[in-house]
Amino acid sequence: MIQELIRAFLLIFTAEMGDKTQILALAFATRFPIRKVMLGIGMGIILNHGLAVALGSYLSRVVPLSTVQLIAGAAFVCFALWTLKPEQEEEEEEPRMQFGPALTVAVAFFLGELGDKTQLTAITLAADAKYPLMILAGTVSGMLATGALGIFVGKKLGDKIPEAGIKILAASIFMFFGLQKLFQTIPAQFLRVKIVLPLICLLALVVFYLLRSLIRQRQAGVQSALIAKAKLLHDYYQHMKEDLDQICLGLEYCCVCQGNRCAIGESKEIVQSALTDQAWQAEAQALATNHREKPFAEEKVIDCLVDTLWLINTIQDEKSLAKAHLIRNQMETILFGRPLSGFENLESYFNHIREIDAGLAGKIDDMFDSLLRKVHLLRIE
């Protein structure tokens, strides 16, 4: 019983490392409280894998056990090759329906896992299981652990976890279970050297080709959407934390620090909530202070705004950028006296600020162009 649970957990956990479900979990965690995201993941996966386990259990009653085990072994070998296949970066798709945090996440994960390798793995495991509920518990807990680790890795560790190594580990586990099942269930008359050796050689060639592609992708600096986006967000908030400390020039105007009643104080709290993975609840308060008269380092404020605009233009994912937009609004309040809205893209944004203050708009435009040139040169190098 426990062995079935552990095997299901291990297979699902390793199979989903770096997969789109982790990206989805990270995206939702930037918008909703983590506990509600994890609750939604659990609900969606229980429904999805519950159907898979039910189907697998049904197959085990209508198909001979030896045939089920043979199919399972072949399926695990295919899952190993599937795991090694270099993935193309895909746009995140989320359901347009919004029912509240937990249910929205549940719907997204239920739909996102339909027909995926984890659902097929759950079907395969359940078809060969004595305790289907243990399989369900193992697959659900594996998905929850993967989602939680994806959020943690994305927000805390950036790209320090070797994605290629994780994929190889996951593929190795699938391959081990798959070959084990095949050698246990294939009739003895087919386990001859002249039959087995060519198949092993062919499998080795396919694995070698996929590994070479995966390693080349890694060497070329190609990262999964999860790792790349998470690192970009983490570096941005870390940079904001350093820059915000240099914006306030002293207490000559304020006499005493106003905390989150100041645009910089509130920005620091927003940044801290992002770095510590906490939900941000903005307080409804009227800021009577005229920020344009306070002793702020204008160049640093512009630098923070430009960095934020670059991030928004680069990621183009509103759900991941919720806190970045709040920081943008704080910098705009300092520079223009109010937060700006009503623009569709970066071009319309620059047109908007030119209408408000042509001088400031020119400085922002020049600094933004300079940043784009630096980024371009770094990519060439």
159-189 pLDDT, tens digit each: 455 666 767 776 786 788 778 878 888 888 8
% of the chain surpassing 90 pLDDT: 10
CA–CA distances in Å: residue 108 to residues 17, 23, 43, 46, 151:
18, 12, 10, 13, 16
CA–CA distances in Å: residue 197 to residues 76, 80, 190, 203:
19, 19, 11, 10
Name beta bridge partners: 248: 296
Taking 90 as the threshold, does the pLDDT of residue 271 lie above it? Answer: no
Taking 80 as the threshold, does the pLDDT of residue 304 lie above it? Answer: yes
Residue 116 in tokens: 């995926």
DSSP 8-state secondary structure symbol assigned to residue 262: S
pTM given for the model: 0.49
Contacts of 352 (CB under 8 A, 6+ apart): 340, 342, 343
Whole-number Å distance between alpha carbons of 48 and 114:
7
- Give the Cα-Cα-Cα angle 104, 329, 227 (nearest 5 degrees): 50
**What ranges do the domains of the chain cover?**
2-220, 227-380
What are the backbone dihedrals phi and psi of residue 219, each rounded to the nearest 5 degrees, phi first? -65, -30
Q: What is the mean pLDDT of residues 227-238?
A: 79
User: Which of 254, 313, 311, 317 has the alpha carbon at shortest distance from 287?
Assistant: 254
Amino acid at 81: L
325-348 pLDDT, tens digit each: 999 998 998 888 889 887 778 888
Whole-number Å distance between alpha carbons of 159 and 88:
18
